[in-house]
């Protein structure tokens, strides 16, 4: 494990429209010790060609291809298995990091000896021209608090594998949320950096955009992965839904 390397995990499916902008947002970071592992999940468009075009000029960008379409959880795990860095950062194929994100967050984590950290972010329109309000985050989240909270956006997360051990995500519809819960369940605390460092692109039809579907995924996470009872699940879900409504009630 390279102690200073950040392994960026990016699953990609039908990502040709935005993937090059996503890669360039990593290339604009002032922290240069990173590798970007982009796993194409059998895209029918020219995602692979777009990634290969950039990878020819930057050896830090690596394209991995899935033998068949298996969803983002399997794609993320394929990237995690190939990762060589102490730190694992997540960046979805249609999102963007702002300049200075990696260096600011790594410094923040070092100061708190954090196993997992996340940052504030703002949503943006598909063309990137409209940016929404800043999404505030709590200073810390425990396992029990995260069960009731929507604060952690995937493309803001960095995990220190020296503290957590090798990161893998559960094979589940809400794999990222389940992964954060699995880390915090072991006693770690997630630390929130109150800086707006990511742009979450709101694209109609993408896998995580349906709020009704996401709500179902959250409930299944409680019941099937976390093993919570009906009453506990209902309490957590009510809090999760209320926070989600407050968070997304305006752009």
Residue 210 has pLDDT above 80, yes or no: no
* Contact predicate 188/142, CB 8 Å: no
Q: What pLDDT is recorded for position 246? A: 86
* Per-residue tokens: 105: 């967050």
* Per-residue tokens: 61: 């960008």
Q: What pLDDT is recorded for position 251? A: 87
Q: Is the pTM of this model over 0.85?
A: yes
Query: Whole-angstrom Cα distance, residue 174 to residue 213?
Result: 10
Q: How confident is the model at residue 213 (pLDDT cuts 50, 70, 90)?
A: confident
Delineate the domains of the chain, giving CATH numbers in brackets.
2-204 (3.90.550.10)
Query: Whole-angstrom Cα distance, residue 157 to residue 89?
Result: 6
> Can you tell me the mean pLDDT for 188-199?
98
More confident residue, 85 or 215: 85
Q: What pLDDT is recorded for position 207? A: 47
Average pLDDT score over the chain: 95
More confident residue, 212 or 170: 170
Dihedral Cα 185, 78, 210, 124, nearest 10 deg: 100
Residue 100 has pLDDT above 60, yes or no: yes
* Contact predicate 121/156, CB 8 Å: yes
């Amino acid at each position: 494990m390279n102690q200073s390397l950040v392994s960026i995990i990016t699953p990609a499916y039908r990502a040709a429209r935005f993937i090059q902008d996503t890669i360039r947002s990593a290339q604009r970071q002032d922290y240069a010790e990173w590798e970007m592992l982009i796993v194409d999940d059998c895209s029918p468009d020219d995602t692979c060609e777009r990634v290969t075009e950039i990878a020819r000029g930057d050896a830090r960008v690596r394209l991995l291809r899935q033998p068949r379409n298996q969803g983002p959880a399997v794609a993320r795990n394929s990237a995690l298995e190939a990762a060589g860095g102490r730190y694992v950062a997540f960046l979805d194929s249609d999102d963007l990091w702002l300049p200075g994100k990696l260096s600011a967050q790594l410094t923040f984590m070092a100061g708190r000896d954090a196993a997992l950290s996340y940052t504030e972010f703002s949503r943006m329109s598909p063309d990137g021209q409209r940016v929404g309000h800043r999404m505030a985050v709590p200073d810390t989240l425990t396992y029990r608090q995260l069960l009731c909270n929507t604060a952690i956006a995937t493309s803001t997360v960095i995990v220190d594998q020296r503290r957590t051990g090798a990161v893998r995500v559960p094979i589940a519809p809400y794999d990222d949320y389940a992964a954060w819960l699995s880390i915090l369940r072991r006693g770690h605390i997630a630390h929130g950096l109150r800086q707006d460092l990511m742009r979450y692109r709101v694209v109609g039809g993408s896998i995580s955009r349906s709020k009704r579907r996401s709500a179902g995924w959250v409930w299944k996470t409680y019941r099937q992965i976390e093993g919570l009872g009906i009453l506990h699940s209902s309490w957590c879900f009510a809090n999760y839904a209320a926070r989600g409504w407050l968070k997304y009630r305006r752009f």
